[in-house]
Structure 1
Amino acid sequence: MMQTIVEVKDLNKNFYGKEGEVEVLKNISFTLKEGEILTLLGPSGSGKSTILNILTKLLKPTSGEVNIKGTIGYMFQKDHLLEWRNIMDNITIGLEIQNKKTPEAITGIENLLKTYGLWEFRNMYPNELSGGMRQRVALIRTLSVNPSILLLDEPFSALDYQTRLLVSDDVYKIIRNEHKSAILVTHDISEAISMSDQVAILSKRPATIKGIHDINLEMDGERTPIKSRKVPAFQDYFDILWKELDTYEN
């Protein structure tokens, strides 16, 4: 039986400003099991990124419980690569900050670069890479400190459609091959279905969870996001999630 490594229970978050108190999250509850990918799917401004910021302790919840078993790596919407550092130096920056840049850690990074087709680019600079390759570098940088849980905040949103599909395939394979658990934030229904084991639907603000759906896509061979989009059940899931999302309500 898979272990629960993230448990969020009755999470509430209010912000305070000039116009008074704003309720952003209301009684949010979900779990992430070891080895799974959970997607938080909701309209823009529904508090998806706020949940991730609470998981990383960048924000404190107003009330509720958050229990995490493991370490977290955060992959942002933008790659945030430093243009004056080459690819290898960008990837090792987290190790430098944590004072963990050991020979063993460098060997691990070198193996990741070789496995995922980035080795020959290690001495190049970010402006010499495509957007898709920059995102792969950003993921390897996130993995360099060996987190057990990955938080992915709309990591493909800055890419064109074709590149987005290809990079989502790459990221999915890396997550699976490296035996990581992940929480993905997106407002793209197709992306959520193709990447996930579970999809949690968030309402408009104040965000509540309207439903959590298991995604079971049977296919021949290894599952990938691109192959997932071709499975007949994919459209059934799309219709269910489309109807449940507040984005399309009048």
Structure 2
Amino acid sequence: MAAIVEVKDVNMNFYTLEGELQVLYDLNFSLEEGKILALLGPSGCGKSTMLNILSGLLKPTSGQVRIDGKLGYMFQRDHLLEWRTIMDNITIGLEIQKKLNEEARQKIESLLKTYGLWDFRNRYPRELSGGMRQRVALIRTLSVDPDILLLDEAFSALDYQTRLLVSDDIYKIIKNEKKTTILVTHDISEAISMADFVLVLSKRPATIKGIHNINLTIEEEKTPLSARKAPEFKDYFNALWKELDIYED
């Protein structure tokens, strides 16, 4: 299957008053349609910078990025507007693009019904739990019908228990909607449980230390929660922890 995302020889430098800062060095990877890739690395290594390059918000210093499709970007915070209802928050992107027609509205209504938010469509964000707000944020991203989702530590603002439950919800939505996804995280367990592939980045300037194909033996339907029960889970965790080498000088 042809790659829907391709990154070739990407380097990224920033220029400050103190001089040139190299953030990414010679990154190469690709991703096939319908797969989930986790970018895993220590804090400050350049994971979000890579995501911003993929989204077009940043232009790499050198190298090429090919994206075969439309992107949707989900940030760390849900960025819901407190004065707009849930339905109005979801439609805001289409309103700005002047693409909010009857077909688009029917698609949004279908997503709300499928993922348990229909009864909350006229509520305000402050009336929802953190997990529900994240589901709303994802549906808002899906409303513009992207081919590829970029998730920038989308669960990091949640407490641990909520984070586990929400990652299950988000995973099911991604798989049901058949979206190619790139997930940025520094949580090893999250990367293993959600992704088909885990790309490990070094400290800055970030290089690729390894790309791991995640194959787990799961008797039930795969979700991030059920994935943690797989016998191979601890082996992947130990291998990734060692490769991250967080404490190296």
Q: Please classify the TM superposition score into its range, dividing by the shorter chain length.
A: over 0.9
Contact 1:28 1:208 in 2 (8 A): yes
Query: 2:192 is matched with which residue?
Result: 193
Deviations along 1:19-42, whole A, 9 cap, x unmatched? 000000000111111000000000
| One-letter identity of the residue aligned with 1:116 | Y
Deviations along 1:99-121, whole A, 9 cap, x unmatched? 11010000000000000000000
Task: Output the TM-score relative to the length of structure 2.
Answer: 0.99
Q: By how many angstroms is 1:79 displaced? A: 0.2
Q: Which runs of 4+ in 1 moved over 6 A?
A: none
| One-letter identity of the residue aligned with 1:80 | H
Matched, 1:37 2:49: no
User: Unpaired runs of 5+ in structure 2?
Assistant: none
Q: Please give the root-mean-square deviation of Cα atoms over the aligned residues, in Å.
A: 0.7
Deviations along 1:67-104, whole A, 9 cap, x unmatched? 11000000000000000000000000110111110100
Which SS does the other structure have where 1:145 is aligned? coil
Spell out the pairing of 1:199-238 with structure 2 (5 A cutoff): 199-238=198-237
Q: By how many angstroms is 1:219 displaced? A: 1.1
Q: By how many angstroms is 1:11 displaced? A: 0.4
Deviations along 1:135-168, whole A, 9 cap, x unmatched? 0000000000000000000000000000000000
Query: 2:153 is matched with which residue?
Result: 154
| One-letter identity of the residue aligned with 1:28 | L
Task: Output the TM-score relative to the length of structure 1.
Answer: 0.98
User: Unpaired runs of 5+ in structure 1?
Assistant: none
Which SS does the other structure have where 1:219 is aligned? coil
Distance 1:60 1:138 in 2: 26
Q: By how many angstroms is 1:222 displaced? A: 1.5
Which SS does the other structure have where 1:80 is aligned? coil
Count, aligned residues = 249
Distance 1:107 1:204 in 2: 45
Which SS does the other structure have where 2:246 is aligned? helix
Query: 1:26 is matched with which residue?
Result: 25
Matched, 1:66 2:61: no
| One-letter identity of the residue aligned with 2:155 | F
Query: 2:127 is matched with which residue?
Result: 128
Contact 1:242 1:248 in 2 (8 A): no
| One-letter identity of the residue aligned with 1:186 | T
Contact 2:7 2:29 in 1 (8 A): yes
| One-letter identity of the residue aligned with 1:137 | V
Which SS does the other structure have where 1:232 is aligned? coil
Spell out the pairing of 1:165-176 with structure 2 (5 A cutoff): 165-176=164-175
